[in-house]
Amino acid sequence: MFLFQGGSLALRDETPDAGLAQGLPRETVREAFREAFKDLDAFEIPAVDGPGTIYGASLGEKDPLPPGWRTIPVRQGLSLLSAGKTVDGRGPVGRMLRAYHIAQWRRDAAFCGSCGTRNTDAPDELARLCPACGRREYPRISPAVITIILHGDGRALLAHNKKFAPGVYSLIAGFNEAGESLEATVAREIREEVGLEVRDIRYIASQPWPFPNSLMLGFAARHASGEPRPDGVEIEDAQWFSPDKLPQLPGNGSVSRYLINAWLEGKLSFSP
């Protein structure tokens, strides 16, 4: 069972980092939260990478933990568990992220969006069901693109977003708009955030990213024209970097780092 508290995973103190993605035995959680267990938002969902069931539960953000327990941010756990080589959401890490996504969605979908009645669980599928008006709500998935922009001289564009930790540079990203293709989103976000035009946009890889409910779609694109001009709203700085002179990069486990690693390994070059 994966036990979440806000944006963190709750664990026993003796749980090693390597065991984060395995979760805890349900009996362990039930025993530790014996009095409060009935009040936890517990759920069972099917795995999507094969047979099996994923068990999850959520604590209130202010609920005290029993002695001998700790929390670790889910993002930190993802970085610890991933080597930056795969991002497809399969395996234990993918199951942890699926549980986290559903835990957040259940919290946000506690009440019907049409009539305000408290939702229940649909008996036949993964959905929240309003017992009053019958409205069903499904897990929200918001598509977003993230793109590594490659210069003809072998450099790549990396940018510092205001939300990043100081000194960390990553890739240009943004949400897909209604009525917009993914390739159009790539071009628009790059134009808006750093003032560049790109060409030869191609899809590379995707990743479930439940922070809070994204599906990240990773692309590579070739620089066509323009010089980096950060918008000053989201992007504070954007520069061309060569493989031998890099800033601090995002942690392993993210599709941004996956794309950067692929560039560094020579896997994303364009033909002349």
- Could you tell me how far CA 32 lies from the centroid of its own chain? 29
**Cα(252)–Cα(48) distance, integer angstroms:** 23
The pLDDT of residue 272: 66
In this structure, are residues 228 and 194 in contact, taking their beta carbons and an 8 Å threshold?
yes
Neighbours of 70 (CB within 10 A): 13
The pLDDT of residue 269: 80
The pLDDT of residue 21: 81
The pLDDT of residue 62: 86
The model's pTM is 0.89
Residue 40 has which token pair? 């936890």
Instruction: Please name the residue that has the structure tokens 């508290």.
Output: 5
Domains and CATH numbers, the chain: 2-108 (no CATH), 111-140 (no CATH), 142-264 (3.90.79.10)
In this structure, are residues 19 and 93 in contact, taking their beta carbons and an 8 Å threshold?
no
Residue pLDDT tens, the chain, 272 long: 999 999 999 999 998 877 788 889 999 998 898 877 777 899 999 998 788 899 999 998 888 899 999 999 998 888 777 654 556 667 888 899 999 999 999 999 999 999 999 999 999 999 999 999 999 999 999 999 999 999 999 999 999 999 999 999 999 999 999 999 999 999 999 999 999 999 999 999 999 999 989 999 999 999 999 999 999 999 999 999 999 999 999 988 899 999 999 999 999 987 76
The pLDDT of residue 82: 65
The pLDDT of residue 246: 97
10 CB-contact burial (10 Å; exposed 0-12 / middle 13-18 / buried 19+): buried
Q: Is 272 in a helix, a strand, or coil?
A: coil
The pLDDT of residue 202: 97
Neighbours of 250 (CB within 10 A): 20
The pLDDT of residue 64: 87
